[in-house]
Amino acid sequence: MTHPERFTDVTSTPILPQLPQARFTIGDVVRHRLFDFRGVIFDVDPVFANTEEWYEAIPEALRPSKDQPFYHLLAENAEQSYIAYVSQQNLVADETDEPVDHPGLDAYFNGYEGGRYELRPEHRH
């Protein structure tokens, strides 16, 4: 006696949700589209991967969609350096060709060349 529910049809392909393509990569220097800060990308999440509390703290009128890449930045503005978590829709490429001044850069990157930062070998997967 056969039990059809135990067998899988190998000819069918599961339908996976289509993830948005990341426009930026680790080492890119970017600028926030609305706020006056820039930074270096040191990690990328294909979709939102922060806490719900963090997300709800964003004013509703500015709250980005969760189904897009989010970037971890070593960020700076005129007053300070910090870590930022920013949606793809709120980032643009930084065209200044100037390095970022952030104390955490040496932990992730070897140096700045050609408008981007080179990731240290130990951080590559």
Average pLDDT, the chain: 89
72 contact partners, CB below 8 Å, separation of at least 6: 41, 42, 43, 44, 45, 83, 84, 85
pLDDT digit string (tens) for 55-107? Answer: 999 999 999 999 999 999 999 999 999 999 999 999 999 999 999 999 999 99
Domains identified in the chain and CATH numbers? 20-123 (2.30.30.390)
> Looking at residue 124, what is its pLDDT?
76
Q: Name the CA dihedral angle for 44, 109, 27, 66, rounded to a multiple of 10 degrees.
A: 20
Range list of β-strands (E), 16-95: 29-32, 38-45, 70-76, 81-87, 91-93
**Alpha-carbon distance 81 to 96, whole Å?**
18
